[in-house]
Amino acid sequence: MKLEKGTKISHYKILSEIGKGGMGEVYLAQDTKLNRNVAIKFLSEEWSKDSDKLNRFIQEAQAASALNHPNIITIHGIDETEGSQYIALEYIEGETLTERLNNKLKFNEALNIATQIASALDAAHTAGIVHRDIKPDNVMIREDGIVKILDFGIAKLTEQKKPKVESEDATAVQVNTTPGMIIGTANYMSPEQAKGKEIDSRTDVFSFGVLLYQMVCGSLPFEGESPLEIIGSILNKEPNPLNESEIPSDLRKIISKSLRKERDERYQTIKGLLADLKELKEDLAIQEKLDKTVHP
């Protein structure tokens, strides 16, 4: 659905197109009631005509809108115009993690971003939502350093809307999905996702592990010249070795555990991974203070 500048949709005034993908178009708009900028995501005509995809779009938008977390993009509402469904979203000024990764991240910066992403995923999993497409393009970093996870467009609802996840050993949240359907981005797919198997919250753990590896190393753990080659590496090869002289052993352990091919061997919840990340940050902060004391 192509919209021109100045077009009014309900109380939203279209300002410009800011993105386009297979799922639809995204526009920058002005909320004329609250005098603020918002992003408007329209479902593509192809998706709108498919009743199953349309129902899933609505259901998942409603579920994501219930997420109230500082590191998850806010959904203001869902509506339709001329038969086209759209979502009104928080408009974020900043840069994507993809753009930030054009320059090598400082170690503390990478851990700060990673902790915020993991915190957001923990909130989503607790609410019964698995993102399924964690990648740099779906992470925005505001000018004040606040991280926002975007695009729950291919997220899946879990069987229990609000499962009680109390510890790392808790059973991972199971997902309602169709075996054989591969959804996600090749470089960040879990092995089970690449095989089209049923997935659960541990798929996000694997994708997060890929992202963490990339932020720390500046490269990807699994490589290939095509999506098929990348998937082959994910399924059959171990991650490219981490630099032992540059990366602390505790962080190497966190990344390694996140990237286990067998999901039963990974962190069973993102909550457990987040706890280890926070402990690592505290340890490094203490070490930095000690170093300054010894070498002022």
Contacts of 215 (CB under 8 A, 6+ apart): 97, 101, 105, 110, 113, 114
Encode pLDDT of 257-269 as tens digits: 999 999 999 999 9
Can you give the pTM of this predicted structure? 0.84
Q: For 167-207, how does the pLDDT look when each residue is reduced to its tens digit (9 = 90+)?
A: 333 334 434 344 444 455 899 999 999 999 999 999 999 99
The verdict on 116 and 189 lying in the same domain is yes
Residue 72 counted as domain residue: yes
Mean pLDDT of the chain: 85
Q: Are residues 77 and 209 in the same domain?
A: no
pLDDT band at 157; cut points 50, 70, 90 = low
Residue 292 forms part of a structural domain: no
Q: What is the pLDDT of residue 56?
A: 73
User: In whole angstroms, what is the distance from residue 175 CA to residue 157 CA?
Assistant: 6
Given 31, 122, 133, 276, which residue is catalytic?
Answer: 133
Residue 99 is assigned to a structural domain of this protein: yes
Residue 153 lies in a domain: yes
Could you tell me where the DSSP H helices lie in 66-150? 97-100, 107-126
Annotation marks residue 133 as catalytic: yes
Same-domain check for residues 119 and 212: yes
pLDDT above 90: residue 245? no
33, 67, 90: which is the final residue of a domain? Answer: 90
1 found inside a domain: no
135 CB-side CA count, 13 A: 15
Strands 24-31 and 8-9: unpaired
Domain enclosing residue 62, as ranges: 8-90
Does one domain contain both 106 and 248?
Answer: yes
Write the CATH number for 176: 1.10.510.10
User: How many independent structural domains does the chain possess?
Assistant: 2
In a 3-state reduction of DSSP, which class is residue 273?
Answer: helix
Q: 99 and 54, same structural domain? A: no
